Structure 1
Amino acid sequence: MRENIPVLRLRDKSSTLVARDGVVLCFFMRRSHQEVAPAVWRTLQAYLRAIPPQSLNWYGSDEGDTLPLDDKGWEHIRYQLLERPWGAEWIVELEENSSEGGGYLFEYDGRKLDAPIFSHDEDSTSGVAFSFPTEYLLEHGPAHLRTLALDLARELPFSFGYASLAFVSPRGRWYAARWELLGLLSRYLGMDLYRLGDTSRVIGTRARGAYWLTFLGQPLLGQLGGIEGLRQELPFPEVSFEPLEGERVLLTLGEWPDAIDTAKETYVPQYRALAHLLEPFLYEERTGWFSLDKDNLRRWLRRLCQ
């Protein structure tokens, strides 16, 4: 329900907004950049059509600078995504605001999986993420956002994907308010925190967790017993199943996403049931982006399995 969605703003010591409540859509593809780049470009165009004009105003350059997303910037983004023939990794970061955390973000981390740097690693993927401020969800409604997520998913050869309430924070700026953030993550079990580049490097064809919209591709869907097996394990009236081409499925766990506020009486058995089903197939992070103690991230990723 919409009243279960909190308004959350995190600021650093100088009062700069570094993270805020929003919605994120992430997809992970066990495919090389060259295979997925045209589809990623099409999803970016669909995202731009769906959000207000001038919602994306800045991009990250190859040199690490943040530059205005003008005509020259778009030429660079198109070249980076569709035309650059060399390299092992293709990174695109587009954001709403260059100095504070805005609600609209597009991130892509594409990899050449047979490049020497990745060829020994069976867990690398190409990943893409789209984010929205919570106001977008409240204005357009969950059915609109679900339809948009489906449209994007149909373009992408994903092995796993999801849409969730999240702390939206470009380039990990949340770190400046990490102690407050960690407390909020402990309270709101339905709020996601993500780092696309780190996760897409190690997720392979496994899962990240149970979310409002959970997209399952192969081989994960088969490992879970297919759609019919999931129907038997998730017999909840709130859960719907949307078969997709290529033996894939979208699970929707409710009309609205739920922040799962532990300070209130929350009853979301469908989230916990899916989390338990996915637990044997969850990936393991290998970096310390969430915490220097990797066990903290492991426990957080399994928070709904408790």
Structure 2
Amino acid sequence: MDTYRRAIPPRALGWYGSPEGDTLPLDDKGWEHIRSKMLDRPSANACNIDLEEDASEVGGYHFEYRGRRLDAPLFSHDEDATSGVAFSFPTEYLLEHGPAQLRALAIELGRELPFSFGYASLAFVCPRGLWYGARQELLAPLSRYLGLDLYYLEDTSRVIGTHARGAYWLTFLGQPLLGQLGQVQGLRDKLAFPEVTLQELEGERLLISLGDWPEVIDTASAPPLLPQYRALAHLLEPFMYEERTGWFSEDKDNMRRWLRRLCQ
């Protein structure tokens, strides 16, 4: 969180959820509360943090954290639950600083995180799944622009475990997922595209970059799908999680098809 704060404009995160359930300005007292909640962990099982740029509308900067205690009891419906974190940036940040700086920042953010899977992508950003009321309007452009992500961190963190979510501009792999995919050399042989770079990270982890810039992958243009995205999606498909929480509809097949849209 501190690394993210140093990279974004001062006061870009202006609001937080108070212990009483209100949304309050993020002042010194608010930061004290956030640090205590994350580090002291007074809650028995979970720690949920939502920091926003604007309390009344979707802004460009957001920090979302869904933390679970390693020793928390597991039940049959959440046996694949894990901790998850999301850092959001406006498109202007990418255009101003360039993709190389954003890639370096993503590596720095993940340096101390014990991840099995992570990614960076162009996305519709609406924290805490608040986009759900406009899902029909969002699904139409998503069906055309396959490189745009739509996520709901809370639901995903409940089911992803050590599985994958899909192929993205920057795809981070750790153990055990990296080993299941054949380690670095196995992936290097299978992703032999000029646009693809593989960067080994500390702790038996890997960053796969599918190009210099993120792509929206417009299916109305030719070619509609970049081959490196399709190749990585096919490699990850056997290890992708199965949706169980239903944030598109009660029909889980909708979510399954959307997550596997690059495998078609």
Q: TM-score under structure 2 normalisation?
A: 0.96
What is the aligned partner in structure 1 of residue 228 from structure 2?
A: 270
Which range moved further: 173-182 or 226-235? 173-182
Q: Does the CA-based 8 Å contact 1:118-1:124 persist in structure 2?
A: no
Say if 2:79 is the partner of 1:122: yes
What is the aligned partner in structure 2 of residue 28 from structure 1?
A: none
What's the offset of the Cα at 1:250? 0.2
What's the offset of the Cα at 1:267? 4.2
1-structure distance, mates of 2:227, 2:14: 40
2-structure distance, mates of 1:298, 1:108: 24
What is the aligned partner in structure 2 of residue 301 from structure 1?
A: 259
Equivalent residues, number: 263
Q: Which consecutive unaligned segments of at least 5 residues does structure 1 have?
A: 1-43
CA distances 1:10-46 after superposition (whole Å, capped 9, x unpaired): xxxxxxxxxxxxxxxxxxxxxxxxxxxxxxxxxx111
What's the offset of the Cα at 1:272? 0.2
What's the offset of the Cα at 1:173? 2.1
- SS of the equivalent of 2:159 reads coil
Q: Does the CA-based 8 Å contact 1:112-1:118 persist in structure 2?
A: no
- SS of the equivalent of 1:67 reads strand
Q: TM-score under structure 1 normalisation?
A: 0.83
Structure with more contact order per residue of length (Cα contacts < 8 Å, sep ≥ 6): 1
> Runs of 4+ in structure 1 displaced over 4 angstroms?
117-121
CA distances 1:49-102 after superposition (whole Å, capped 9, x unpaired): 101111100012234321111111111101100113441000110000111001
What's the offset of the Cα at 1:289? 1.3
Residue in structure 2 matching 1:112, options 66, 69, 82: 69
Alignment of 1:1-306 (within 5 A): 44-118=1-75, 121-265=78-222, 266-306=224-264
2-structure distance, mates of 1:244, 1:289: 33
What's the offset of the Cα at 1:172? 1.9
What's the offset of the Cα at 1:120? 7.8
2-structure distance, mates of 1:173, 1:198: 12
Give the partner amino acid of 1:87.
A
What's the offset of the Cα at 1:138? 0.5
CA distances 1:175-207 after superposition (whole Å, capped 9, x unpaired): 232211010111110000111111111101110
- SS of the equivalent of 2:80 reads coil
1-structure distance, mates of 2:124, 2:179: 31
Identity of aligned pairs, percent?
75
Q: 1:117 to 1:229 in 2, by over 3 A?
A: closer
What's the offset of the Cα at 1:115? 2.1
RMSD over aligned Cα, in angstroms? 1.4
Give the partner amino acid of 2:252.
K
